[in-house]
Structure 1
Amino acid sequence: MRLLLIALSLVCCSATQAQNTWGNWLMYFGNHRLNAEWSIHSEVQHRNSTVAPNNLEQLLLRTGVNYHFASGNTLTAGYGHITNYALESAQDGPETTEHRIWQQFLRAHRLGRLKLEHRARTEQRFIHSDFKTRYRYRLMGFWPLKAESIGPGVSYLGLYNEIFVNPTNTPWDRNRLFACVGYQASAQLNFQMGVLHQAIHSANGWNGSWYAQIGVFLNTPWQTD
């Protein structure tokens, strides 16, 4: 927990000193068990293009239904509602609103103390009268500190890279690289604080932005009684 607080201080100081180039993402993820096989995914992400003051760049609301295989793999289908805002826009309200259908396959395995997580996702994106399809793949690693595995009371390091591609003549959409310090407070509650670099591809090449991230993860168990 002490390491998590130190990381938060460093992230906040770095972001404050670079207000023009840093934003922040405040995130909540929930997984709510219905029984041994099924659960509900809930998610809210408040993404800001600047740190001080906060200027909303995107509000993402996402939910889904998870099926958990006996092997530990998870299959998900869900819906997302995304509103996008432009910095210093004269428009009252979001610039665009997106309705997104998504499907996901998640597989996790271990290499000694290292936990690896593979996430493949497809998205069908309805943005006003436009329709787009996008594919994503994320590889994330978790390394427990002073423990053999991540459990209650254990801090850990996390690192991932995620690529986004489109089935078009210009396939590259964006890339995200993320590093964090996490703390598993209990079997149900987990915290992450870190830094993300997002590079977006356009006709003019790649444009990168930095974001400080704070994430809260809540897993409610299946009650058998």
Structure 2
Amino acid sequence: MRSLILLIVLAGSMAITAQDTGEKRLGSWHMYFGTNRISKKLSIHTEAQLRYYQQGENFNQLLLRTGLNYHINPNAIATVGYGYIDTDPSFEDFTEQDNSTEHRIFEQFILKNKVGEFLFEHRYRLEQRFLRSLDTRSDPEQNIKKTEHRARYRLQLTLPLTDIFFLNFYDEVFLNLQDDVFGQNRLYAALGVNVTENLSIQAGYLKNHFSALNFDRLQIGVFFNPDLRGVFKKKNDEP
């Protein structure tokens, strides 16, 4: 009888653990990206993302990022920037741990090239991550604060189908510069639409693989790249 009770308890514990990750749920990422040109060599990167464990519900993460881009030439861009990330680490609503926050500094270098009709983009990024895990149920002094460093490489391929429609694919690997080297891998495929010369929309699918977990995410992304050089020139010309 005791053995039966123990088996039931273990089975219940395994079921609860399985429910915590939300791995089998189809989540969604809602994204905005902007490259705002302010001079011949400089532009400002703007970005906002809302990520959910399920379709538009069960909050997972808010990511806000900005940076200053230096356009070395049309095919090479260097960036330094800052990101703020607020994360709910648990799929379950009744988790005992509150959201964690992160302040992130990053350095980035992008190289572009074209082979036939295929447009390739190589993105190299280093990140300095200042993380804090919050738990209002315990002493605030016990909150965990740590600094981590990470390297990322993304290979992106864009294939124009017409002047309006295009396909976009990428694979990105995340490498930790401490502890276990492998962090995660993201594999992405999407259909894109050029709405105007500086506005496009992508709808796609992301497979987000961690060491022991895999998440499936539908994505909708808006890319708006206005040329603000005329605005800044007029301001500078004002007496």
TM-score bucket of the superposed structures, by smaller chain: 0.7 to 0.9
Runs of 4+ in 1 over 4 A off after TM superposition: 91-94
Determine which of 112, 121, 132 is the counterpart of 1:117: 121
Please list the CA deviations of residues 132-188 of structure 1 after superposition, one character each: whole Å capped at 9, or x if unmatched. 000000001001113xxxxxx520011110000012341000000000000111111
Please list the CA deviations of residues 77-120 of structure 1 after superposition, one character each: whole Å capped at 9, or x if unmatched. 00000000132334699520000001110111100100000000
Identical-pair percentage: 37
**Secondary structure of 1:58 counterpart:** strand
CA distance in 1, matches of 2:98, 2:118: 41
CA distance in 1, matches of 2:105, 2:27: 27
Q: Give yes or no for the alignment of 1:176 onto 2:182.
A: no
Q: Partner residue of 2:60?
A: 57
Number of aligned residue pairs: give it.
197
Relative to the length of structure 1, the TM-score reads: 0.82
RMSD, aligned CA: 2.0
CA distance in 2, matches of 1:143, 1:65: 27
Checking the alignment, whether the CA contact within 8 Å between 2:149 and 2:178 is kept in structure 1 is: no
Checking the alignment, whether the CA contact within 8 Å between 2:24 and 2:215 is kept in structure 1 is: no
Q: Give yes or no for the alignment of 1:99 onto 2:103.
A: yes
Q: Partner residue of 2:13?
A: none
Q: Partner residue of 2:198?
A: 188
1:210 is aligned with what amino acid? D
CA distance in 2, matches of 1:93, 1:36: 47
Residue ranges of structure 1 left out of the alignment (5+ in a row):
1-18, 147-152
Determine which of 191, 199, 210 is the counterpart of 2:216: 210
2:208 is aligned with what amino acid? Q
Larger Rg: 2
Checking the alignment, whether the CA contact within 8 Å between 1:30 and 1:218 is kept in structure 2 is: yes
| 1:13-52 map, 5 Å | 21-51=25-55
**Secondary structure of 1:220 counterpart:** coil
Higher helix share: 2
Checking the alignment, whether the CA contact within 8 Å between 1:83 and 1:94 is kept in structure 2 is: no
